[in-house]
A = this chain, B = another copy of it.
Amino acid sequence: MLLNIDKTKSESVFNQLVSQISSLIDSGDLQEGFQLPSSRQLAVSLGVNRSTVIRAYEELWALGYLESTPGSYTKVRKRKVGNRECKHFAEKDTFWEEMLNSSYKPDFEKVNKFSKLIISDNDSVISFDRLEPDSRLIDVRLINNCYREAISNQEQNVFGYCHPRGYEPLRHSIVSHMRLHGVNSTDENILVTNGSQNSLQLIFQAFISKDDVVAAESPTYSMLIPLIKYFGCKILEIPVNDDGLDISVLKEYLKRYPIKMIYTMPTFHNPTSVTMPQDKREELLTLCEKHKVIIVEDSIEEEMKYFGKVHLPIKSIDTHGVVIYLGSFSKILAPGFRLGWIIADEECIKRLTTLKTIFDLSSNTFSQIMLHQFCKNGYYELHIRKFLRAFKKRMKTALKALKTYMPADKVTWNEPLGGFLIWIKLNVKSKDIDIEEYFRKYGVSITSGRSFFYTPPEEHYIRFSISKCNEHEIEEGIRRMAKAIENLD
């Protein structure tokens, strides 16, 4: 056995022994069954300490280089090759597909689209496709203050686990904030989640089984669709009118189907930006109470009311506790914190919290303490007012630019009361073009309306989001859109 131990080297004798013997075995110079010299022999022949040799043999044994049956601790054994060369099962391409949960057919297309969106930022393209708030409006000094306060927080260790229901002071901040919207709750009604998508997932996991019937507006939030597909439930699509979902259609459905849950966005509906008036909210609630249908009220842009009318959440008049309200910091502050909240009946929250715990133990402690400080210091209300002022102007700019530049015969749109979205219908002949690709060529990215339908329509719609753009970008982007539409048949 050729070993070359140099005691003057900085590498320890132990390490030299282990690495040299293991190399000899790896290279095949020492073959399976080869008997190493006894520790005593080797120690003498190399002039090293015997205990070092014993430790090295133990290490080699632990690494699987030596047999572990009694009496043959110094025999070389056949070792599995590492994963350097990745020889897969012949059926590699189908192994994981076959392993999938039988009911789960992943919606790669939709999901890849989301991933692409995330990494698609390109300075030359004006981005109207993302519903993500303009982070240039965030006052980073305020965030820095919150970080400093969080890192030295004495009550809750910022590095430790948080309560599964959420950091208690943050839940109190949410309670206070929601009171401004007429929602009366206590911290027992709040569950902090990793954003509204996580809230939705928990609700589906808790309450929806395969073949349950769920109603939703059509069009609806695009990432609801893969969830519905994953859970294998039946969806009823309710058309959206100028004043929100068509209640008469819902009434018809309620006669024919055992609807368990309705998902709705009554305020600045995504993608159509329509807002449901108060009396209709009450009608919807009364109907759902009567039929014992859970209402999931997704209201992630609650704050963004520009034009006078104040609509209170359905949750604010929910005397029977059938409404599960979803709020989020993602649309008005920053999705990077991955924090949202659910407000619901205490019994409902208890069950959702249990699931939250077994799914990820708790939400991010760092983000929770930082955002609590953000609320507590009054920064959140300050930030909302700043956002509101900025986007009221931006929305006016957008609506004016649409009127100025758009070819009136080819497009129609409605004027939203708030939020970041404008929903445009294209009156063009070409049905088959990839509309997103087409606009991108003109230097502007939009979302094809088809993404928001479970059953996509023939017509082309565009969801156009101003959330990431300033007035200059909005005007320039609309000019590009208008040009693109003019050149469309």
Let me know if A479 is at the binding interface, CB within 8 A.
no
Among B77, B104, B334, contact of A279 (Cβ-Cβ < 8 Å): B77
Please choose the segment from A27-35, A61-69, A372-380, A387-395 that sits at the chain B interface, where 4 or more of its residues have CB less than 8 A away: A61-69
- Measured CB to CB, the closest approach of chain B to A318, in angstroms, equals 5
Let me know if A432 is at the binding interface, CB within 8 A.
no
The interface residues of chain B lying within 8 Å CB-to-CB of A151 are: 140, 143-144, 147
Q: Given A312-B63, A334-B159, A365-B336, verify A230-B358 contact (CB < 8 Å).
A: yes
Whether B62 pairs with A197 at a CB distance below 8 angstroms is no
Let me know if A447 is at the binding interface, CB within 8 A.
no
- Measured CB to CB, the closest approach of chain B to A96, in angstroms, equals 4
Let me know if A101 is at the binding interface, CB within 8 A.
yes
1/0 contact trace for A351-369 toward B, CB 8 Å? Answer: 1011101111111111100
A158→B334 CA distance, assembly (Å): 9
The interface residues of chain B lying within 8 Å CB-to-CB of A311 are: 62-63
Whether B62 pairs with A165 at a CB distance below 8 angstroms is no
Known: A160-B334, A198-B359. 19 other contacts (CB 8 A): A59-B308, A62-B278, A63-B312, A81-B317, A82-B317, A88-B320, A93-B347, A106-B354, A115-B164, A118-B362, A132-B160, A132-B161, A135-B160, A157-B336, A158-B334, A159-B333, A195-B361, A337-B364, A364-B366
Instruction: Write 21 A-B pairs (CB below 8 A) sorted by A numbering.
Output: A58-B308, A59-B309, A61-B277, A77-B279, A82-B312, A83-B317, A88-B320, A96-B345, A96-B348, A100-B351, A104-B205, A106-B354, A111-B354, A111-B358, A159-B333, A159-B337, A160-B335, A160-B336, A161-B335, A335-B365, A338-B365
Leading 6 A-B pairs by shortest Cβ distance: A64-B278, A336-B365, A159-B334, A62-B309, A198-B360, A106-B354
